[in-house]
């Protein structure tokens, strides 16, 4: 990717000597000083206009079009509000205008290092590029590192009026690392990036902004939380009256990750963007640009447009993947399961694309060429017969295993255990809130792992699901400690069921994740069964894009009912309509019926379709 050299870049920008006002969708009418606008009026900061805050989630939620630019302005505003509140409410802290200014600039510049599609870049693409060998194996990179790199380059290129000591302080505030500036006030490092409990103004802004963008109405009062903040014992504490607000903040974070950031379709599109960039990497050298601030200026979401409009033959594969996104021919999620946090490493090591494919080939080889009489009538279809070609075509590169971590902000810990609160009558004393001080309905777990398996080719939908479930079943079976000798007496000649010793390996606890807890219904679940996603092993062959978009002779009923093949005879349509109605025999108002209903109304009533010679029994359709 060529970068345009601008000779005027080293010139000092136009002097900013007055306050400016903006209207923010979250914070309303906002006033900011000249030290803020001298940073905003640079290429380094303006670049954030072209990076979506929620990355590829914009392809699922059209309203999520906000960028890192407005988020950074919002964090700067809240950082100043918090610092000014502490300065005015507690003069004994000795906060200076310089402290407030540095905290504000840290909030403004904390996301300068984000790459294309925000966390898709640092959370997924860079690790994938490392794994693929495009970067040195021992390379470690986070967007916070790039933020400091871009901050230093911005000061140098524009000759900004930021003293070196202030620059060091600001970068330490961005990292939330007090050890880098131990001579500064420690509580200031909990405003922008709080390493103690994750409660900071960055979280305040993105939760408020993201929920607004997707149409949620959250009830958090950011002004109340800021005015509740107080420094006690050199850390930021909150009034115990706002403990529930803090909990709501943490829960909302988890909810956003669960519903929005890790949405099934958004994750599929994320995987496709990663594949497209990996395909373009040998030609564009995208990952190699992370260490050069001048090249990093060009790393924005616009890289998609650059790839698509290129005439280079080296980018044909990347263009093909991006075109699939535009045509909504996405990778398909074949199965999913939620696991305990403690199994995250075990899952990453054992549930792999190669393992799933190996199990799929073993599991499905026995079903090649099965006749219709051998199929499972509950889930199989006569069109779902597996062929040898299907098995041979399936390779690990057509399968993706996506592990998503979701928690309340402190991994598997309760974030409120790391927050201190002060009582109204003793504002200079702080305590941890105990369970009875807040609620007796706190969750038993504060983190979980969501495992999803995707296929890049819908033809392999059922085969990949069978392989994934077979792999999980084998792992679960191997983890059962049936061979362990258990000491104990027998009662009435019935041997005691073997029990797993506490010292058994972590594999033995794998099945424990699926036991039913208090209040849950049904029997114990299985690690290889998800009743909501079960399909036949040949499922997907009739869902290929060519069949999805092919014209149907009877478009209304066939398209709406999802018929597996072009069934145009009246009996096929009648059977499909009967299946769509299930067993509900409630009389319908035919005057308001859909076209598919009118088709059915010309046939015999369903209750008259009896199997010949078997009164009262409906014919199976």
Active site residues: 143
What is the C-alpha separation between 532 and 512, in angstroms, rounded? 21
Are the C-beta atoms of 433 and 240 separated by less than 8 Å? Answer: yes
Q: 420-422 and 235-239 as β-strands: parallel, antiparallel, unpaired?
A: parallel
- In the block, tokens 């109405």 appear at 217
CA–CA distance, 55 with 326 (Å, rounded to integer): 16
Contacts of 146 (CB under 8 A, 6+ apart): 112, 113, 114, 115, 122, 290, 296
Give the distance, in angstroms, between the CA of residue 507 and the centroid of all CA atoms in the same chain: 26
Tokens representing 331? 């990778």
Angle, helices 201-213/243-256, rounded to nearest 10 degrees: 60
Closest CA to 405 of 446, 442, 351, 458: 446
Burial (CB count within 10 angstroms: exposed 0-12, middle 13-18, buried 19+), residue 403 = middle
d(CA 408, CA 164): 36
Distance of CA 91 to the CA centre of its chain: 42
> Which residues touch 316 (CB under 8 Å, ≥6 apart)?
none
CA distance 192 to 503: 42
φ, ψ for residue 587 (rounded to 5)?
-60, 140
Give long-range contacts, CB 8 A cutoff, 24+ apart: 130-137. 132/278, 132/281, 134/278, 134/281, 134/287, 134/288, 135/287, 135/288
Whether 164 contacts 149, CB under 8 Å: no
DSSP 165-193: HHHHHHHHHHHT-GGGGTTS-GGGGGTSS
CB atoms within 10 A of CB 196: 18
**Is the CB of residue 231 less than 8 Å from the CB of residue 217?**
no
Task: Write b or e for each residue in 95-124: b if 16 or more Cβ atoms lie within 10 A of its Cβ, otherwise e.
Answer: beeebbbbbbbbbbbbbbbbbbbbbbbbeb
Quick one: which H or E segment has residue 237? Answer: strand 235-239
What would the two tokens of residue 518 be?
């208090």
Distance separating alpha carbons of residues 249 and 221, to the nearest angstrom: 10
- Closest Cα partner for 570 from 582, 562, 578? 578
Q: Are 450 and 403 in contact (CB under 8 A)?
A: yes
């Amino acid at each position: 990717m060529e970068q345009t050299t601008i000779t005027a870049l080293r010139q000092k920008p136009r002097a900013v000597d007055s306050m400016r006002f903006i209207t923010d969708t979250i914070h309303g009418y906002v006033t900011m000083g000249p030290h803020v606008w001298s940073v905003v009026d640079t290429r380094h900061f303006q670049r954030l206009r072209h990076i979506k805050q929620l990355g590829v989630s914009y392809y699922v939620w059209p309203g999520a079009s906000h960028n890192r630019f407005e988020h950074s302005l919002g964090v700067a505003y809240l950082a100043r509000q918090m610092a000014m509140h502490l300065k005015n409410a507690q003069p004994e802290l000795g906060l200076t205008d310089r402290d407030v200014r540095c905290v504000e600039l840290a909030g403004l510049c904390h996301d300068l290092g984000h790459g294309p599609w925000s966390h898709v870049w640092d959370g997924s693409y860079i690790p994938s590029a490392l794994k693929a060998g495009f970067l040195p194996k021992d390379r470690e990179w986070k967007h916070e590192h790039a933020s400091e790199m871009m901050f230093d380059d911005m000061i140098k290129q524009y000759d900004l009026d930021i003293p070196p000591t202030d620059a060091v302080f600001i970068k330490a505030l961005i990292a939330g690392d007090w050890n880098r500036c131990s001579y500064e006030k420690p509580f200031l490092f909990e405003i922008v990036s709080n390493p103690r409990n994750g409660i900071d103004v960055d979280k305040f802004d993105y939760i408020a902004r993201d929920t607004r963008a997707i149409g949620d109405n959250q009830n958090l009062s950011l002004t109340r939380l800021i005015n509740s903040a107080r420094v006690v014992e050199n850390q930021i504490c909150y009034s115990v009256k706002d403990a529930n607000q803090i909990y709501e903040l943490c829960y909302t974070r988890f909810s956003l990750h669960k519903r929005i950031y890790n949405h099934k379709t958004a994750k599929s599109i994320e995987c496709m963007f990663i594949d497209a960039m990996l395909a373009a990497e040998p030609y564009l050298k995208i990952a190699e640009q992370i260490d050069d601030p001048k090249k990093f200026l060009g790393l924005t979401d616009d890289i998609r447009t650059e790839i698509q409009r290129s005439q280079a033959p080296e980018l044909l594969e990347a263009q093909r993947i991006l075109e699939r996104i535009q045509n909504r021919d996405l990778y398909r999620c074949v199965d999913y399961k939620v696991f305990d946090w403690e199994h995250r490493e075990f899952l990453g090591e054992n549930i792999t694309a190669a393992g799933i494919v190996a199990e799929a080939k073993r599991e499905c080889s026995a079903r090649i060429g099965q006749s219709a009489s051998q199929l499972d009538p509950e889930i199989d279809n006569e069109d779902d017969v597996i062929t040898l070609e299907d098995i041979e075509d399936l390779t690990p590169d057509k399968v993706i295993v996506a592990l998503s971590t979701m928690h309340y902000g402190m991994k598997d810990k309760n974030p409120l255990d790391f927050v201190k609160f002060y009582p109204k009558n003793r504002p200079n004393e702080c305590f941890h809130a105990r369970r009875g001080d807040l609620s007796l309905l706190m969750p038993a777990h504060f983190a979980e792992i969501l495992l999803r398996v995707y296929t890049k080719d819908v033809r392999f939908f059922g085969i990949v699901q069978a392989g994934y479930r077979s792999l999980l079943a084998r792992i679960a079976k191997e983890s059962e400690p049936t061979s362990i000798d258990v000491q104990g007496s027998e009662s009435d000649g019935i041997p005691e069921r073997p029990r797993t010793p506490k010292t058994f390996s972590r594999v033995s606890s794998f099945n424990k994740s699926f036991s039913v807890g208090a209040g849950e219904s049904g029997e114990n679940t299985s690690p290889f069964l998800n009743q909501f996603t079960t399909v036949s092993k040949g499922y997907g062959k009739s869902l290929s894009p060519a069949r999805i978009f092919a014209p149907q002779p009877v478009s209304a009923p066939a398209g709406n009912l999802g018929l597996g093949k072009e069934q145009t005879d009246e009996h096929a349509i009648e059977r499909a309509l009967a299946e769509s109605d299930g067993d509900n025999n409630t009389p319908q108002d035919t005057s308001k019926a859909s076209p598919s209903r009118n088709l059915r109304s010309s046939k015999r009533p369903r209750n008259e379709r009896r199997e010949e010679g078997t009164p009262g029994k409906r014919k199976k359709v």
